[in-house]
Each structure stands twice: as C-alpha cells, then as structure tokens.
Structure 1
Amino acid sequence: MRERVHQALDVLGAPAQPRLLVAVSQAFFQGGLRSTQLTSLRRDEERSFRSSPYGRPYYLCAALTDRLSPARGLLTLSSWPLERRVVGPISPRADFLTCAIAVATRVSRTAAPSPESLRLLARMGRNIPGGELVELGRSVDPGRVAELAHEELAVHAERDERERAALAARARERLDEAARLFGAAPLGTTTIRGITA
C-alpha cells in the first residue's frame, strides 16, 4: 500500500487527498488502493520514523498548514522539499492545477490511456476555467487541459510560492525533524489558573 501511495504522489507532484490518490492509482496502476486504508497510514509512518529516523528511503507524511500542524487528509512525500510540503491559503488551488497538469501529461504520454485515466482527466478539466466543455464520454484533449491549467496556475504561482517559502522558513526555524515531516502537535486544552479552556 505504501508503494501504491508513493506511485500516485510521484505522478501528481503535489499534496493530495486520499480520494485523488485512489483515483490516480486506478487510472495508472490498476488500482489496489481504498480510501479507508489510508486513514491511519500517516500515524503509522510517524511511529516508524520516530522509532528509526530515516530508516526508510521515504515516508508518507502530512502536508503542513500555516499553523505548522498536519493538514487534515493531505499526504506528501518526505523526499519533497519542505516548500512543496507546506500549504498556504491558495495552495489547494495551485496544487489542484499542478495535479491536473501532471495527469494530463501522463495521459498524453500513454499510447492507450485507460478509461479511468480519461474520466479522471475529464473531471479535473471541468474544474478549470475554460474546461467546462470537457464532458465524460467525449474525447478528452490532455494538451488542452494542461494548457488551461498552466494559464490559471500562472495567475496564482508567484503568490503561492512566496507564501510557501515563508511557511517553510518558519517550519525550519521552529520545528524539529520529525515535526517538519508530520507536523507540530495541535494545541490541546490548556489550564489557566485552574480553568480548563
């Protein structure tokens, strides 16, 4: 299962939620993943890292939010630069567009794309301005989907990169190695003068 998630993330090149990882696995690697299998995966990876740091060539880890805590349901690869593993305010959109470009590129390089890969590409294309004419059951032009995604990504890229660089710098300054991969523990309940808040 780890290797299948790694394959899907490697294709996408950006933090992704379990349902997208499952779709990519079905589209390009004959499936074998279910969202329910991924629920405890990040915790298992963190336990493994803490018991034997860097004992594996890579870890499946959490994306980090602007609070430097783990982003709910977003998986990344430990081998990616920290700037790619943090998510700012517009990162979800930038990451979606990055993933759409990656899927379109993969489909365009496949001699006989699977029906699953074409359906995934069509769904992604419909969520990009100008791509609303891409419908299921019709021919999907991966080059056009990639072009539209590149056009919108160009609008967001500079700001997203700037915000991610600032978040990565904060993470390097404030977090230890494990927390840079798996996030800082969320703030728990605190007791102030005997009152639990």
Structure 2
Amino acid sequence: MTRQSTLPGLREQARHALLLLGVPAPARLVVDVHAAFFDGDLSVPALAALMRDDERFAAGPDPSSGLDSGLFARAESPAGPDGSATAVPTHSAGFDGGTVLRPYLICPALHPDLAPAGGTVTLSTWSLDERLITPAVARAHALVATARIAEFAAARPGASARELLQRLALEVPGGPEALDLAEAARAALDDPALAAAAAAEEPARTAALARADHLDEHRRLFGVPSVPHQRGGA
C-alpha cells in the first residue's frame, strides 16, 4: 500500500483544517493550515473544485449533467428518531470508531445579502449565524483563527508552522513582538472598538438570518447569487 493511498480524501483534509480553525476562513488559509499540521495534498484549486461539486450535489443530481454519478452516491445512515433511515451523501459522510459521522459539505461563508462570500470556506454543519460574515465579525474570526493556530502549534511545535505564524502575526496588534501570539490575538479580540463595530452589525445580521428562514437548504448553504445591475432601460 502506498503512502498516497493512506491519506484522507481532499474533503476530509479540508474538514480537518476547518475544525482546527473553528471559523470561516479564506481558502488559502485553510490550505496553509492543513499543510502546516497535517499530511495531504490539499490545494486552493482542489478546495474550489470541492465546493463546486458540493454545490451541485446540494442542488440535486442532474442525470444530464455528465457528472460522475459517484458524486451522488448515497448510503443509509442509522435510523432516525422516527425509525426511518436517512440517505446521506457517501462523499461527505465519515466514520469515527465505527460510528457514522454527521454528513457535511464544504460551502462558502455568506454576506448579509446572502450572496456567497467568494474565496471563503466553511462547513455546512456550522449554523448560518456562524457562516455569516460582516466586516467586524470577519476581523474577529481572523483573530480567533490566529489564536487557535498558535495554540495548536505550541502543542505540536514544528518548523512547518513557523512561516505561517510569522505571517499571521503581522495582522495582530503587537503580534510580531509578542512572546505568545495566541495571547496577543485574544487580547485584540477584547478591543472595545471591535466589540462596538460587531454590535453595530447585529441588525443587518439578524435581518439576514430572518430572510434565510424562507430559503431552501441549498441557498442557505451556498447563497443567493447577486443579480447584476443593468444600465439603462429594458
């Protein structure tokens, strides 16, 4: 058996990195975090392809699309509370000690207008509130991600994470000089100005969540495409 065959699939690699980050993140950061801490071959193009595949899957299989039917293969999950079995996508279900994990898709974060935030990556198992990004919340997410990466690196020191940490430190007040980058990032999270900015965004976030209640699951996960403005009359 070759080493390549023992690696997790690309989707599971993306999930590993996202669970470490714990927040929506740019695709490049997801890839860099995975490269720093895990074995695998995840890349930005592969991540983009995963999201395209998962969006097609969420929209429903189209026999005329020419896509590999394996993408839409389904397996029976354990019976639900009513005794019925629920079909879950095999490409996004996993196992842990013999227990079927909750199925998941790789999807983008959403803006308050519910359009997809291009270049961002999240897990479908996260709530819409967790996947909804606004400027101040995105800043807080970046600090949370930096703190979590620094804490993980401290528990698993290695040269592979050093360059990543140095780059992230540049985005944290006092980060380049800090003896503890995680502590500096968490201190920045307590900035009253950041808290005030996040609070000011709450009405827009609340309105977005209310609008999302009327959307189907596909649009709640992958967003509503923005309608381009037309010039002149029809």
Q: TM-score, normalised by structure 1?
A: 0.82
AA aligned opposite 1:145? L
Distance 1:128-1:158 versus aligned 2 partners, 3 A rule: same
Q: CA RMSD in A?
A: 2.5
Cα distance change of structure 1 residues 168 and 10 upon mapping to structure 2, 3 Å threshold: farther
Pair 1:2-2:35 in alignment: no
Q: How many residue pairs are counted as aligned between the two chains?
A: 184
Q: Does 1:160 pair with 2:198?
A: yes
Equivalent residue for 1:128?
172
Q: Please, which of 216, 219, 229 is the counterpart of residue 176 of structure 1? A: 216
Question: Does the aligned pair in 2 maintain the 1:86–1:167 contact within 8 Å?
Answer: no
Q: Is contact 2:114–2:208 with CA below 8 Å preserved after alignment?
A: no
2:114 is paired with a residue of what secondary structure? coil
- 1:83 is displaced (CA, Å) by 1.1
Structure 2 equivalent of residue 18 of structure 1: 27
AA matched with 1:126: L
SS at match of 1:184: coil
Further displaced range: 164-173 or 70-79: 164-173
Match of 1:150 in 2: 186
Deviations 1:31-73 (A, max 9, x none): 4112122233222101112227853400001100021110011
Aligned match of 1:108: 154
Distance in 2 (CA, whole Å) between partners of 1:167 and 1:31 is 40
TM-score (norm 2): 0.70
Paired letter, 1:15: P
On the 8 A contact 1:171/1:180 being kept in 2, the answer is no
User: Is residue 88 from structure 1 mapped to residue 124 from structure 2 by the alignment?
Assistant: no
Partner of 1:50: 59
Q: Which residue of 1 aligns with 2:112?
A: 66
- Map of 1:138 onto structure 2: none
Aligned-pair distance for 1:2? 0.8
Structure 1 position 30, deviation (Å): 2.6
Given the superposition, is the C-alpha separation of residues 122 and 83 from structure 1 closer, same or farther in structure 2, using an over 3 Å criterion? same
Unaligned runs of 5+ in 1: 135-140
Higher relative contact order (CA 8 A, sep 6+): 1
Structure 1 residues 154 and 175: CA distance shift in structure 2, 3 A: farther
The CA distance in 1 between the partners of 2:162 and 2:208, in whole Å, is 35
